Structures are given as structure tokens and as C-alpha cells.
Amino acid sequence: MTGSWICEKHTEGYAVKWKIKDILHEEQTRYQKLAVVDTLEWGKALLLDDALQISEKDEFIYHEMISHVGMCTHPCPERVLIIGGGDGGTLREVLKHQQLNAVDLVEIDERVVENSKRFFPAISCGFTDRRLNLHIADGVHFVKETSFRYDVIIVDSSDPLGPATPLFNLEFYQDVYKILKADGLLVVQSESPIFYGEVFRSVYRQINTVFPLTRVFLAPIATYVSGPWSFTMGSKKYNPRELAKKPADLGYLKYYNEGIHRAAFCLPPYIKEMILSVR
């Protein structure tokens, strides 16, 4: 409704609200409530179960960081798996790597893909790329059953609620490890260390149990819950802090570069303490 607000409650004592100019679309999909709204400050935004997923104004920060940190750690990522990411933003960024031969994108909710194509063409532009294999399927089942082996796997999931819940447990990370090549690596979004500390610790603990190299990196995502947003990388071989290729070779990027890559792994003491507490 024109002139109304959307309110996103994070805890019993903290909520955020955005003024919206219009509700462009609403529907109940098979899995979740989906809405596209036009906001006053952030442009068009996609909401799932009333939680903001992407906005036109700041989506590039999240999508560049969840994609390029891992893709630039691996020297030659030829086949990539994206689990989630039905809006297409992570796909768009991964496709900037010219050595990529194929990318499988597994999204459980087809309506996320279709609405992103309709309302966010600049974000969903990668869906027409010939290297893409789109699978409308459950990511947990796909990982268990696929015969493919991957250089990089990116889990671009929503919060650990509803259909995304199984993507945050040990068995899933063990299955991911099995379908990575001998030098493969995994990148996941691992929530806010401040507001969702238990989820953050749990993700780190489980990935660290499975992978020989586990590292956390951070980025500020303005429309996500306040403070730093975390990503966790599990690597079989390559040190996540070291770049195997120069980001400048990817063309123009709005946020990620070589300095940002290295700086993102410089963690403040309180987050280091959180990580040490789970080892």
C-alpha cells in the first residue's frame, strides 16, 4: 500500500522498518510468502516471509563478496555450484570469471527466480547465460545425489528458517565436502555475529569440523541486521586470505577489490574470541 511501512523484527528488542512507495507484487508460493516492494531509500526490494533479501541500492556488496572472495581464492574455478541465490545476483557475479565452464544453480522456489526476472532484470541477467544449468530442486537432495564434482560451492541461502534450515547443519556440509574436487572450497553466508551469535558459532564449528582450512570474512550489508555480516569459507587446499587471481581482471566491480579481499579477513577481537570459543 502506497505510503506504508514494512517492519522487520530481528529480536524482542530490535526491529527495522523501511518506508515503501508501493507494493509491486505479493504471493504465497509453495514454500514462503514473497513480496516485491518499491522503497523510498533502497529502490525495489525482494522480501521472503517479510524479511528483506535484496535491494537495488546495496545488493552489489553482498553478491560481490559471497562470490568473488571464493572465486579469487581458487586459481581456476571451472565448475561452480550455487545453492539458493534464486534472485540471480550471485550468478551474475560468478559468470564474470572467464575460466568458468559451467555453473549449476539450485533454487527450491521457482517463483523467486521468475519474480527476479520480472522485477530485477539487472540482478537476474545471468539466467540467459549458456553456461548456466538451472535446477528447481531442494539443494540438500541435489548435493546428496549429484554425480558432478565442483571447484567452488556457494551457499547463498536466506536465514535458517523454513526451507533454508537444512542448509545449516553438519550433514549438509559433509555432503558438500564429498562433491568438491580435491582442491575445492565452500563459501556460505553465516549471519550476523552480533545478533545471531549462536548461528554464527554453529556454522563455523560445523564447517571447521569438515574442512582443514576454515576462515571467516566480513562485509557491511546496509539492509541486513545492523553491524558486520559474516561469511565462512571452508577450503580443502587454498588459503582463503591469498588471492590466486587479480580482481581487476573481472572488469568493473562496485565493492570488491584486492584490498577488500585481504581486509575482510581482519577480524575484530570479539569475533576472534567467538571463533576460539567453539574450537
- The binding site for spermidine consists of 63, 87, 156-159
**Nearest 5°: phi and psi at 258?**
-60, -40
Q: Catalytic: which of 58, 109, 151, 156?
A: 156
Report the alpha-carbon distance of residue 222 to residue 198 in Å, rounded.
22
**8 A C-beta contact, residue 152 and residue 184:** yes
- The alpha-carbon radius of gyration of the chain (Å, integer) is 18
110 burial level (CB within 10 Å; 0-12, 13-18, 19+): middle
Binding residues for S-methyl-5'-thioadenosine: 32, 107, 138-139, 163
**8 A C-beta contact, residue 219 and residue 64:** no
**8 A C-beta contact, residue 7 and residue 52:** no
Side by side, the strands of the sheet bearing 14-28 are 5-11, 14-28, 33-39, 43-48, 51-55
Annotation says 156 is catalytic: yes
Binding residues: 32, 63, 87, 107, 138-139, 156-159, 163
Of 54, 118, 112, 63, which Cα lies nearest the Cα of 89? 63
Positions annotated as catalytic residues are 156
